[in-house]
Amino acid sequence: MKPAVFRSTLAVSAIAIALAGCLQDGGAISPSHAANGAPTPTVAPVAAPAPAAGRYGLPDFSALVEQVGPAVVNISVTQKVGRGGATSGEDPFAGDPFYDFLRRFGVPVPGMPGNGGGGGGRMPEQIQQGVGSGFIVSSDGYVLTNAHVVDGASEVTVKLTDKRDFKAKVVGVDKRTDVALLKIDAAGLPFVRTGDAERSKVGEWVVAMGSPFGFENTVTAGIISAKARRLPDENYVPFIQTDVAINPGNSGGPLFNLAGEVIGINSQIYSRSGGFMGISFAIPIDVAMKVKDQLQKYGKVSRGRLGVAIQGLDAELAQNFGLDKPNGALVASVENGSPAEKAGLAPGDVVLGVNGQKVDNSADLPRIIGEQKPGSVVRLSIWRDRKARDINVTLGEQAGEKLAATGGADRKGENASGKLGLTGRALTAQEAARLGVPGGVVVEGLGGPAAKAGLQPGDVIIGVNNQPITGIDQFRKLLDAAGNRFALLIQRGGSRIFLPVRIG
């Protein structure tokens, strides 16, 4: 585990950082002591009293902290690694200036390759330690934390606020949501009450507890800044954004509302420096508890699979497809032999709902489908040919859907001509067969509306308003019939996406 685990790059020099504590090299580390056999207090989850107004009208969190604090734990992890993270076959001392100095003067050092010190090029084992946070979710010793806190750990120790510590078993981890479930051998433990993250409101007070930089039982407070935040490569978690002070070591700690209910697990920060800058993200507790239930029962998380590539809708695309609002997930392509293909789902369909649950934007669909049990039958509400209809799909099991990202720079090509302002060539029969389409146009030069729409050289246009292209002449006819607003279906690399185009 590295000193900081980088999970998502959000901007140039600005990063979303997972909050596992820094690991430091050490010598032989004495194992943590097991439970000392002291009597175990029985503490049920108790509703924390509403914080009283302080001297200046701000809430006083002391009563809340007193009630919920005993259920928050410190997590220490131990990991055995080769020096410098070297793998077998590498020189573990490469780049070490002290080693280079001694080797230059022929001084033998035990463990150094080629010096007869017994190392023989093998990696000397090193012990590293890290810290994180967690919270008890049941009196029999189940603890929730982040997956990145315990990733690669050879030993995990859970320390309670009463100073007892326990060796913990990692029941299971789910890296997709960054949730891990631990189990300690204890009973009658204090545990948290879970709240409803959906009912939380932007602007309401929240409290975080954890071990930033190893400082145990640290309490910080702030407000919810936003809800349902989507981070790059995070299709399964609608993060709660807060301005609560969160730092490395807070990973896996609880985020409480004023009723003393956990509504999230602190997971990442947005930072240019690696420290707190006023933006932090928590995993909604409802997402975490669904993962926890599967980990506890099966030791892993199984997710439903639809087998489509999707993209978001903007106002122009919505108008092209006859929708009043840009809601739903636009199907860009359907995998061969997938559950979606077997059910008749097609490119150009817009998924508006699953089993009556609305799909407000494309990022909702992977999460909703992923929460369904593989093999279950779901009812999809779709929009096709400017009409609403329902289809049933029997889900498979696998990873979630790929989100086909739209975009592209404005690029002007030479010799641009025609209504779109592009030049191109027809697909060869072999190229069309490889793509599984009847025909298409390979973009070679760009200008005008085509460039403004985001088309790029090398894109393959395979449809106009969901009508497949069979050749150049038919492509021109489709453009003439489409008027001044239409959507192009293009193949870009391994993805298919729709691009809205406006003429004039």
- Is 473 known to be catalytic? no
For residue 234, give the nearest of 147, 289, 312, 176 by alpha carbon. 176
Active-site hit among 133, 139, 148, 349: 148
Structure tokens at 467: 């009508």
Distances 46 to 68, 72, 176, 188, 288 between C-alpha atoms, Å = 8, 14, 32, 14, 21
Exposed / middle / buried, residue 100 (Cβ in 10 Å: 0-12, 13-18, 19+): exposed
Residue with structure tokens 């410098």? 84
- What type of residue sits at position 168? A
Yes or no: say if 207 and 302 are a contact pair by the CB < 8 Å rule.
no
Structure tokens at 186: 């204890």
Distances 77 to 125, 155, 301 between C-alpha atoms, Å = 16, 6, 23
Beta strand 72-82 pairing with 125-136: antiparallel
Residue 451: which residues within 8 A CB-CB, separation 6 or more? 410, 411, 412, 413, 421, 422
Between CA 45 and CA 373 the distance in angstroms is 31
Yes or no: say if 437 and 468 are a contact pair by the CB < 8 Å rule.
yes
Active-site hit among 151, 165, 174, 178: 178
Instruction: Return the C-alpha torsion angle 235, 237, 242, 246, nearest 10.
Output: -100
- Is 251 known to be catalytic? yes
How many alpha carbons fall within 13 Å on the CB side of residue 106? 0
Between CA 107 and CA 102 the distance in angstroms is 5
Give the DSSP letter of residue 437.
S
Residue 58: which residues within 8 A CB-CB, separation 6 or more? none
Q: Which DSSP helix (H) or strand (E) runs through 52? A: strand 52-53
For residue 23, give the nearest of 65, 85, 77 by alpha carbon. 77
- Is 33 known to be catalytic? no
Active-site hit among 251, 271, 280, 381: 251
Per DSSP, the residues of 75-123 read EEEEEEEEGGG--TTS-TTTT-HHHHHHHHTT---TT-TTTTSS-TTPP
Catalytic residues: 148, 178, 251
